[in-house]
Amino acid sequence: HRRLSPPVGGERFPLPPTLEPLGSERGQQLFAEARVNSQLVESLLRQDHPAFCAVASAMTVALSEQVGPSDQRRFMDVFQEAPSWPPVLSHYGCGALDGLPGPVKYHLLRHLQYDGSPMSLLAEWFRAQGLDAEAVSAGDVDADTFRSDVLAAFPKGDGPRRCYVVANYS
């Protein structure tokens, strides 16, 4: 359980060297060539805690769809408010604990959130809010297969359905 402090005073977490800063010339070029969802860009959240990269990403998508909480520390509240508890603890390898009462699971999740959130839990989180979500592991595929899978996730044409891909690049 890590309670690390977020950056303060406008300081930011360092960008991994394999990513291109948006403010760079190349970042601006990529942005200009991209198909941009302005509602998603306007909803972009900075992670409030070093372990909240998945939380901030998921909440950015949810805010652009106008669902879910806006406070990252309240991320797990969605499960508490759901009509029935999904098997949330199994995503942390503790499936036997999913039989516990909801309030106990909630407190366990509030503790575990400081160790990060598995991608499969994000899918559960989106589903708890009525969004269609699927967790897919690309751990054993090459970059071309990953690109192909990402493209397949988006429907052809410009229909009303908005699709998102939340990826873990670790």
Query: Could you state, in order of their start, the residue ranges of all structural domains in the chain?
Result: 25-153
Interval 111-160: pLDDT, tens: 999 998 999 999 999 999 888 888 887 777 788 888 888 888 777 766 65
Burial 68-89 (b: 16+ CB within 10 A, else e): bbeebeebbebbbebeebbebb
Which residues, in sequence order, are CB contacts of 147 under 8 Å at separation 6+? none
Of these ranges, 19-23, 69-73, 97-101, the one predicted with the greatest mean pLDDT is 97-101
Sequence-ordered alpha helix ranges (H) in 3-97: 25-33, 38-43, 53-64, 77-81
Cα 159 from Cα 133, distance rounded (Å): 18
Cα 65 from Cα 167, distance rounded (Å): 18
Which residues, in sequence order, are CB contacts of 142 under 8 Å at separation 6+? none
Kindly report the average pLDDT of the chain as a whole number. Answer: 85
Least confident span in 75-79, 87-91, 123-127, 137-141: 137-141
- The distance in angstroms from the start CA to the end CA of the chain is 20
Residue 30: both structure tokens together? 């990529």
Whole-prediction pTM? 0.76
Q: What is the pLDDT of residue 40?
A: 87
Interval 37-47: pLDDT, tens: 888 888 888 88
The DSSP call for residue 9 is T
